[in-house]
């Protein structure tokens, strides 16, 4: 997706061979028009599927998932990384290890909001090792819902998450695939 790639080139900051900071437009400051375009693009790419629910994980997934859900006119659910005090039972639970933050997050989703009748599109900002995607897929599986696919803003194609998911037959649509961050430069796959 060209506008996202251009934004990555102009405002992304390569911090190491593995890490690019996109705080200027995705996960701290958010560019709403870019997110609207991202929502339309996911809607277009998954237009052959019937999605009843968009699932993401707090916090950075919320903006693109919301814009996708708005375009699809379906609800969006975000997995929580902490248990809410007002929502303690009746939960799907899974674990996500964050390589960036070096911590395990227990993620939860209320059983009220994903059920076996749902056809779920998972949305997240990054795909690197695939840990967050695995956790969200685990929750979809526990619910008995059908996973339509996974939509990703930025795939680090030099890490193995995307490859492993596609090998399992899961449809992964990434709007920007980064081949390399070496020498402080962003190189896209295409």
* CB burial readout 13-29, b (16+ within 10 A) else e: ebeeeeebebeebbbee
User: What are the phi and psi torsion angles at 100 (to 5°)?
Assistant: -65, -45
90 contributes a contact to a second copy by CB under 8 A: no
Q: Are 31 and 90 in contact (CB under 8 A)?
A: no
Check the annotation: does 130 bind a ligand: yes
Nearer to a second copy, 30 or 164 (CB): 30
Smallest gap from Cβ 8 to a second copy, in A, equals 15
Q: What are phi and psi of 144, to 5 degrees?
A: 80, 5
CA distance 80 to 61: 11
Member of 62, 136, 140, 152 binding a second copy (CB under 8 A): 62
Q: Say whether residue 35 binds a second copy (CB under 8 A).
A: yes
100 binds a second copy (CB under 8 A): yes
What the block records as the tokens of 74 is 């379906």
Number of residues that bind a second copy (CB under 8 A): 40
Residue 33 binds a second copy (CB under 8 A): yes
Q: Which of 58, 117, 141, 182 binds a second copy (CB under 8 A)?
A: 58
Residue 97: count of CB within 10 angstroms of its CB? 14
Chain positions contacting a second copy, by CB under 8 A: 15, 19, 21, 23-25, 28-33, 35-36, 58-59, 62-63, 66-67, 69-70, 73-78, 80, 84-87, 100-102, 109-110, 112-113
């Amino acid at each position: 997706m060209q506008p996202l790639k251009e934004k990555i080139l102009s405002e992304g900051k390569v911090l190491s061979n593995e890490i690019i900071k996109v705080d200027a437009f995705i996960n701290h400051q958010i560019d709403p028009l870019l997110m609207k375009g991202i929502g339309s693009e996911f809607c277009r790419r998954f237009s052959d599927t019937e999605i009843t629910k968009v699932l993401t994980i707090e916090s950075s997934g919320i903006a693109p998932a919301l814009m996708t859900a708005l375009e699809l006119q379906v609800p969006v659910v975000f997995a929580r990384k902490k248990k809410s005090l007002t929502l303690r039972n009746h939960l799907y639970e899974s674990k996500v290890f964050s390589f960036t933050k070096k911590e395990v997050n227990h993620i939860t989703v209320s059983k009220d909001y994903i059920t076996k009748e749902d056809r779920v599109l998972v949305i997240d900002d990054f795909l690197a090792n695939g840990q967050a995607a695995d956790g969200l897929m685990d929750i979809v599986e526990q619910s008995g819902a059908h996973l339509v696919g996974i939509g990703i803003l930025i795939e680090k194609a030099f890490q193995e998450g995307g490859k492993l998911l596609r090998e399992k037959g899961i449809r992964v649509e990434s709007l920007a695939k980064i081949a390399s961050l070496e020498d402080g430069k962003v190189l896209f796959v295409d």
